[in-house]
Amino acid sequence: MTVSSALPLVDLRSDTVTRPTPAMLEAMFAAPVGDDVYEEDPTVRRLEEMAAARFGLEAGLFCPSGTMTNQIAIKAHTEPLSEVICEQTSHIYLWEVGGIAFHSGASVALLPGQRGRVTAAQVEAAIRPENVHYPTTSLISLENTHNRGGGTCYSLEDLRAISDVATRHGIARHLDGARIFNALVATGQRSEDYGQLFDSISVCLSKGMGTPVGSVLLGSAAFIKKCKRIRKVMGGGWRQAGYLAAAGIYALENNVARLADDHRRAARLAAVLQAQPYVAEVLAPETNLVIFRLHESQPAPEFLAALERQGIRASSFGPQWIRFVTHLDVDDAMLARVEAALGALGS
The Cα-based distances of 178 to 6, 92, 143, 212 in angstroms read 33, 11, 8, 14
CA 69 – CA 174 distance, rounded (Å): 11
Closest CA to 21 of 290, 339, 327: 327
| C-beta atoms surrounding 172 within 10 Å | 21
Residue 130: burial class (beta carbons within 10 Å; 0-12, 13-18, 19+): exposed
Question: For residues 196-233, b (16+ Cβ closer than 10 Å) or e, as one string?
Answer: ebbbbbbbbbbbbbbbbebbbbbbeeebbebbbebbee
CA 247 – CA 250 distance, rounded (Å): 5
The Cα-based distances of 101 to 56, 155, 175, 212, 341 in angstroms read 31, 30, 19, 29, 44
- pLDDT tens profile 13-71: 999 999 999 999 999 999 999 999 999 999 999 999 999 999 999 999 999 999 999 99
SS3 340: helix
pLDDT in tens, the chain (347 residues): 444 456 889 999 999 999 999 999 999 999 999 999 999 999 999 999 999 999 999 999 999 999 999 999 999 999 999 999 999 999 999 999 999 999 999 999 999 999 999 999 999 999 999 999 999 999 999 999 999 999 999 999 999 999 999 999 999 999 999 999 999 999 999 999 999 999 999 999 999 999 999 999 999 999 999 999 999 999 999 999 999 999 999 999 999 999 999 999 999 999 999 999 999 999 999 999 999 999 999 999 999 999 999 999 999 999 999 999 999 999 999 999 999 999 999 88
**What is the C-alpha end-to-end distance of the chain, expressed in Å?**
14
